[in-house]
Amino acid sequence: MTSGTEQASPQPRKRLFVSLMGVTCLIMVATIFLAWWIPNRGLANIHPNLPHIVGVIMVILSGAAMLGTGLLVLTTAIGKDLVMTRFMRLVVIKFLLPVIELVGRVIGIDKDRIRQSFVAMNNSLVLSQRMKAPPERILVLLPHCIQFAECEIKVTGDINKCVQCGRCTIKELVDIGVAYAVDISVATGGTLARKVIVEKQPKLVLAVACERDLTAGIKDCYPLPVIGILNERPLGPCFNTIVDIQKIEAALRLVIHHSECQTKTAP
Ligand code: SF4
């Protein structure tokens, strides 16, 4: 697991994703070259200048792939919205992630490691846009498994029903919701999470979940910016999971619009 700062700010962990992006870029350039080179002679039969024209198009495509990769790496490295960060987020989420998952599978990299790295990369891009929102437009989404399995209270839908006995992290999360005046919801799955998002219309979502659910949620929610925070699973998946409260607070401090922040604890 990474620290909250690693997930909530443009810090390492995305290294794996960046490396795989480089490999993917090389594969793309090689494919583009082959796509030009193999039919090259056939093209000359149609028109003598056609191989050169197609060659120039392929060079432009290769240049765009390399430029895009370089720009992505630079944006996440310096944490600033250089140019077209929103579009790059779209490229990473919709195009690069599936290709990188495929490359990772071929070279034998664990899917969850790639997903963790993707979440870190996504967080970097969201944060590089310096996106801020008033607390009432920020939604903190939690997985159901974060609640103590034997708790008799149903906090799905309304986290404030929690009587704060302290047997699970929900207690601290209720305090955070009050302190930062943000909406916190517990969702039992992707469908309910989508329903909550449609109802609350947030400007930014701070989601806690496992790698798989975070990756799916970030993809589903695009263009809505989502900052992902991985949960911890000391007892295995989907059972009495926990989240580091400091990671939530660190992320909230980065995205809450300070003039409207009603936090008692933030500086
Ligand atoms: S802290 Fe709240 S949600 Fe967790 S076990 Fe106690 S009452 Fe239930």
Judge whether residue 243 has pLDDT over 70: yes
Are 100 and 189 part of one and the same domain? no
Are 122 and 32 part of one and the same domain? yes
Could you list the residue range(s) of the whole structural domain that residue 45 is in? 4-128
Are 176 and 256 part of one and the same domain? yes
Are 254 and 167 part of one and the same domain? yes
Judge whether residue 13 has pLDDT over 80: no
Judge whether residue 9 has pLDDT over 50: no
- Atom number in ligand 1 closest to CA 150: 5
Among 88, 113, 128, give the residue marking a domain's end: 128
Residue 265 is assigned to a structural domain of this protein: no
pLDDT band at 258 (very low <50, low <70, confident <90, very high): low
Are 121 and 165 part of one and the same domain? no
Are 146 and 253 part of one and the same domain? yes
With a threshold of 0.85, does the pTM exceed it?
no
Residue 148 is assigned to a structural domain of this protein: yes
Residue 112 is assigned to a structural domain of this protein: yes
64 - beta bridge partners?
none
Are 8 and 123 part of one and the same domain? yes
Residue 48 is assigned to a structural domain of this protein: yes
Are 17 and 119 part of one and the same domain? yes
Number of Cβ within a 10 Å radius of residue 230: 27
Chain segment 55-95, per-residue pLDDT in tens: 888 888 888 888 888 888 888 788 888 778 888 888 889 88
139 - beta bridge partners?
183, 205
Residue 267 is assigned to a structural domain of this protein: no
Are 105 and 189 part of one and the same domain? no
Are 100 and 165 part of one and the same domain? no
What does the pLDDT read at residue 261? Answer: 43
Considering only CA atoms, which residue is closest to atom 6 of ligand 1?
165
Judge whether residue 43 has pLDDT over 80: no
Pocket of ligand 1 (CB under 6 A): 147-148, 151, 153, 155, 162-168, 170-171
Helix (H, G, I), strand (E, B) or coil at 104: helix
Residue 200 is encoded by which pair of tokens? 């609350």
What does the pLDDT read at residue 62? Answer: 85
Are 91 and 15 part of one and the same domain? yes
Highest mean pLDDT among 52-61, 88-97, 121-130, 173-182: 173-182
Are 172 and 211 part of one and the same domain? yes
Strand-pair category, 204-209 with 226-230: parallel
Considering only CA atoms, which residue is closest to atom 2 of ligand 1?
162
Residue 178 is assigned to a structural domain of this protein: yes
Among 128, 148, 176, give the residue marking a domain's end: 128
Handedness of CA 15, 101, 225, 247 (dihedral sign): negative
Residue 266 is assigned to a structural domain of this protein: no
Structurally, the chain folds into a number of domains equal to 2
Judge whether residue 10 has pLDDT over 70: no
Mean pLDDT of the chain: 86
Give the rounded percent of residues in the chain with a pLDDT score beyond 90. 51
pLDDT band at 210 (very low <50, low <70, confident <90, very high): very high
Minimal CA–CA distance to 168: which of 158, 155, 157? 155
Among 103, 128, 153, give the residue marking a domain's end: 128
* Distance from residue 251's CA to the centre of ligand 1 (Å): 23
Judge whether residue 104 has pLDDT over 70: yes
Average the pLDDT over each of 180-184, 231-235, 254-258 and give the range with the smallest value: 254-258
